[in-house]
Chain A
Amino acid sequence: MASQEILREEPNRGSFINDPKIRSLFFQTLVVIIVFGSLWWIVNNVIENLQRLHIASGFQFLRSRAGFDISTTPIEYTSDSTYGRALVVGLLNTIIVAVAGIITATIIGFIVGIGRLSQNWLIRKICTVYVEVFRNIPPLLVIFFWYSGVLAVLPAPRESYHLPFGSYLNQRGFYFPRPVWGDGSWLIGVAFLLALAMAWFVAHRASQRQMTTGQQFPVFWTSVALIVGLPLLAFLLGGMPVTFDFPKQSTFNLTGGFQVKPEFLSLYLALSFYTAAFIAEIVRAGIRGVSRGQTEAAGALGLRSGPILRLVVVPQAMRIVIPPLTSQYLNLTKNSSLAIAIGYPDLTATAGTVLNQTGQAVEGVFIMMIAYLVLSLVTSFVMNIVNARMALVER
């Protein structure tokens, strides 16, 4: 692009050409002129083309009626809603699948990554095969496999698998009862929040006590008891205000209840399993990055292998793991745009439909880019905070 000579501190040779400051200024001006010149040229071309072809422009279309339906709508949406709302639905769908995928991929990735370092030969090999298979095929193919697999294995709606608690599984998705919140259910919410606060308090006190006296307290089980028990108590005391809407068989499909569509299921599973292979490698590298002496020293202190992993190895490995983990999370979010291939209405798919129905390609692609950029920035931001906290713990 341009050169620079700033590192060289030279006596002035009396010529402008060899003055690093002037050269630097010259090149930067040149680059600015070239870049903004071509930008201006492009914008000019776009405006001219749009006018010549009588294509509408501007963002007014966001307020007009969309006219198409979307299969998965986390917020209220009908064909009478606006294009703007359709885009919001798409964005929410992207966020839902990305967050769900990130959680699952992390869990599977850690299990497989630790499995690759297992003492057990068979487990080690199975995990290696898993990683090598998933890392080396395109994510799009993984998605197709899950989708055709899900559709091929599951039965038609009339032969649904009945699962416990009134849930069903068939080609149209996974159905489970949806809670209907009646009067007085606010009590449960309050109880839940209260339980969370108490659990946090217990954990805090327990660690303080361990620091001073060395005595341990079963924090985990107490917290579970609190978080499950308190809302349950509130539920019973409030006169059982929550009822359930069970899925029922109708002419074509099951109606009622809560439905998780196969498109979501397969995209979520595919993204999780694909990204998990990469996370497993990162975790493996992280754990191997912790020196063996740490494990041996912990063993010499009398810790068992479980606590060694939990208290000594993983916290140190996290320091190595988090930065590449962040980029895998970003990749997963970006790969969720492959949803378009199996018809999950994520941001790319809805923006594509909007773009096509309105014919306003420039605005459509612009919105898409901005939305993904913001998502990426938010993910990076959150992970940077986590990273900073980990660094403190490590010290």
Chain B
Amino acid sequence: MQEHDMSWVRTEMALAQPAPPTERGAYAWVRKNLIGSVGDTVLTVLGIAIVLWILPQVINWAFINAQWTGPDRTVCTTVAQGGIQPDGWTGACWAFVNAKFGQFMFGTYPVEERWRPILVAILFVVLLVPMLIPRVPRKGLNALLLFVALPIVAFFLLVGGVFGLPHVETPRWGGLLVTLSLSFVGIAVSLPMGVVLALGRRSKMPIIKWLCVVFIETVRGIPLITVLFFASVMLPLFLPEGVSFDKYLRALIGVSLFAAAYMAEVIRGGLQAIPKGQYEGADSLGLGYWQKMGLIVLPQALKLVIPGIVNTFIGMFKDTSLVLIISMFDLLGVVKQNFADPNWASPQTPKSGLIFAAFVFWLFCFGMSRYSMYTERRLDTGYKR
């Protein structure tokens, strides 16, 4: 032991000095993030210029000069074009969107029956929200209701013809109703199909493997439009005389087949990520093939690829807009169809309608992609698509 001379030791802490002014507050942040170097400064100036150039124009057009309500095209056209706006005016014609909102949502679904799609939408949200929140229990029952019970209930509600509900034929469906129902049913059908195809592709039976590979690679190699063409033009010729499918169903078949091939690849990724030990463990317990897959492998694999499935769903949701090419009226189709309405023909109408459609699509897709990122972080399995 040695004695220390403690006399020089401070008895109280030195006062904390503030960081130098260049290293704190807004200035430091700006210095670090905006004008770190000469190149950075140039980029910043360029960025500010771009923002200043675009933003005022957008705000002016979309909000300040926009027309929100109105009876017909006069509110959205200048005097020279036969309207009431001063010459040189440009602004969004939200009045058009406002007037056609019902059509954009439901197409030409009869007005007095529109409570039916609304009810289906409410049921969907009620079942979907607990499904998405990880803490809520009873996921199995929930999934059963969402993916089995809901489609059946929704089918009878939307189509009608039973329980005194008037029949509404599918050519009258339109707008967001078609977009959402096509993509939801598409996913509900393509998920099991994708599982079967993925299992088939990893099968050790050569013929089954070969058939699945041919199907998956063929569908993935051709554009959806071709698949839709195929479904709308050729499918009727495949069936015996006198049997024909509804156009909506044909589009559904096309979209589902297409999505199933992509889904199969996503699920295959999940199957490959499951360690071999899991398969062998199941085998050693004496489980049969379907027991092994259904109880051990698939539950783990599907959980792994939830983000991939959501991404496929986003892709499918966006792709449903292509059905307008086979003259079905999804959201984009209805919006475009309404450009031809003489009551609303104006130079601003197409822009406003397209931006509205883009906004709706964006809202859905952005929400879904955020959810997918959230689950990815939560599961954090290191699986990357």
Q: Please tell me if A138 contacts chain B, counting CB pairs below 8 Å.
A: yes
Q: Report how far A184 CA is from B320 CA in the complex, Å.
A: 55
Known contacts A120-B47, A334-B222, A365-B229: does B322 contact A48 (CB below 8 Å)? no
Q: Report how far A7 CA is from B296 CA in the complex, Å.
A: 15
Which residues of chain A (111-137) have a CB below 8 Å from chain B?
118-123, 126, 132-133, 135-137
Q: Please tell me if B142 contacts chain A, counting CB pairs below 8 Å.
A: no
Chain A residues with CB below 8 A from B114, complex form: none
Interface size classification for chain A: 35 or more
Whether A136 lies near B366 (C-beta < 8 A) is yes
User: How far apart are A179's CB and chain B's nearest CB, in angstroms?
Assistant: 35
Chain B residues with CB below 8 A from A233, complex form: none
Q: Please tell me if B301 contacts chain A, counting CB pairs below 8 Å.
A: no
Interface size classification for chain B: 35 or more
Whether A368 lies near B33 (C-beta < 8 A) is no
Binds B, one of A65-73, A81-89, A140-148: A140-148
Q: Please tell me if A377 contacts chain B, counting CB pairs below 8 Å.
A: yes
Which residue among A138, A340, A355 has the maximum number of chain B CB atoms within 10 Å of its CB? A138
Known contacts A122-B34, A133-B362: does B237 contact A45 (CB below 8 Å)? yes
Q: Please tell me if A35 contacts chain B, counting CB pairs below 8 Å.
A: yes
User: How far apart are A315's CB and chain B's nearest CB, in angstroms?
Assistant: 20
Nearest neighbor of B226 in chain A, beta-carbon distance? A368
Binds B, one of A23-31, A197-205, A207-215, A247-255: A23-31
Whether A376 lies near B221 (C-beta < 8 A) is yes
Which residue among A4, A136, A285, A324 has the maximum number of chain B CB atoms within 10 Å of its CB? A136
Known contacts A4-B203, A31-B207: does B322 contact A52 (CB below 8 Å)? no
Whether A340 lies near B225 (C-beta < 8 A) is yes
User: How far apart are B287's CB and chain A's nearest CB, in angstroms?
Assistant: 9
Chain B residues with CB below 8 A from A285, complex form: 384
Chain B residues with CB below 8 A from A1, complex form: 196, 199-200, 208, 212
Whether A3 lies near B350 (C-beta < 8 A) is no
Whether B358 lies near A31 (C-beta < 8 A) is no
Nearest neighbor of B284 in chain A, beta-carbon distance? A8
Nearest neighbor of B361 in chain A, beta-carbon distance? A137
Which residue among B225, B289, B354, B369 has the maximum number of chain A CB atoms within 10 Å of its CB? B225
Q: Report how far A156 CA is from B351 CA in the complex, Å.
A: 19
Known contacts A137-B318, A141-B332: does B225 contact A338 (CB below 8 Å)? yes
Chain B residues with CB below 8 A from A119, complex form: 32-33, 36, 40
Chain B residues with CB below 8 A from A291, complex form: none
Which residues of chain B (247-261) have a CB below 8 Å from chain A?
none
Known contacts A45-B238, A120-B33, A122-B47: does B200 contact A7 (CB below 8 Å)? no
Chain A residues with CB below 8 A from B153, complex form: none
Known contacts A119-B40, A120-B43, A138-B318: does B222 contact A373 (CB below 8 Å)? yes
Q: Please tell me if A42 contacts chain B, counting CB pairs below 8 Å.
A: yes
Which residue among A28, A48, A324, A355 has the maximum number of chain B CB atoms within 10 Å of its CB? A28
Q: Please tell me if A348 contacts chain B, counting CB pairs below 8 Å.
A: yes
Q: Please tell me if A237 contacts chain B, counting CB pairs below 8 Å.
A: no
Whether A46 lies near B237 (C-beta < 8 A) is yes
Whether A31 lies near B234 (C-beta < 8 A) is no
Chain A residues with CB below 8 A from B290, complex form: 3
Q: Please tell me if A190 contacts chain B, counting CB pairs below 8 Å.
A: no
Q: Report how far A356 CA is from B7 CA in the complex, Å.
A: 102
Which residues of chain B (42-66) have a CB below 8 Å from chain A?
43-44, 47-48, 50-51
Q: Report how far A17 CA is from B48 CA in the complex, Å.
A: 74
Q: Report how far A137 CA is from B34 CA in the complex, Å.
A: 30
Known contacts A138-B318, A139-B318, A361-B234: does B239 contact A45 (CB below 8 Å)? yes
Q: Which of A132, A141, A324 contacts B358 (CB 8 A)?
A: A141
Q: Which of B44, B233, B384 contacts A365 (CB 8 A)?
A: B233
Q: Report how far A133 CA is from B324 CA in the complex, Å.
A: 22
Q: Which of B222, B237, B321, B365 contacts A50 (CB 8 A)?
A: B237
Q: Report how far A144 CA is from B335 CA in the complex, Å.
A: 12
Whether A337 lies near B226 (C-beta < 8 A) is yes
Whether A373 lies near B238 (C-beta < 8 A) is no
Whether B230 lies near A8 (C-beta < 8 A) is no
Q: Report how far A6 CA is from B283 CA in the complex, Å.
A: 11
Whether A7 lies near B279 (C-beta < 8 A) is yes
Whether B226 lies near A4 (C-beta < 8 A) is no
**Binary B-proximity of A13-45 (CB < 8 A = 1, otherwise 0):** 000000000001001100110010000001001
Nearest neighbor of A27 in chain B, beta-carbon distance? B205
Whether A137 lies near B223 (C-beta < 8 A) is no
Q: Please tell me if B241 contacts chain A, counting CB pairs below 8 Å.
A: yes
Known contacts A5-B289, A120-B43, A126-B47: does B204 contact A361 (CB below 8 Å)? no
Task: Add 20 more A-B contacts to A46-B238, A365-B226, A369-B230 (CB < 8 A).
Answer: A1-B199, A1-B208, A5-B289, A8-B283, A119-B33, A120-B36, A120-B47, A123-B47, A126-B51, A135-B369, A136-B314, A136-B361, A136-B362, A141-B361, A152-B351, A336-B223, A337-B225, A337-B226, A362-B237, A369-B226
23 contacts between A and B (CB under 8 A): A2-B200, A2-B205, A3-B289, A4-B208, A7-B279, A7-B283, A24-B204, A27-B205, A31-B207, A50-B237, A120-B43, A121-B34, A122-B33, A126-B47, A133-B362, A137-B358, A138-B321, A141-B321, A152-B351, A348-B226, A361-B233, A365-B230, A368-B229
Chain A residues with CB under 8 Å of chain B are: 1-8, 24, 27-28, 31-32, 35, 42, 45-46, 48-50, 52, 118-123, 126, 132-133, 135-141, 144-145, 148, 152, 285, 324, 330, 334-338, 340-341, 348, 352, 355, 361-362, 365, 368-369, 372-373, 376-377
> 4 closest A-B pairs (Cβ-Cβ)?
A121-B33, A136-B365, A376-B221, A334-B223
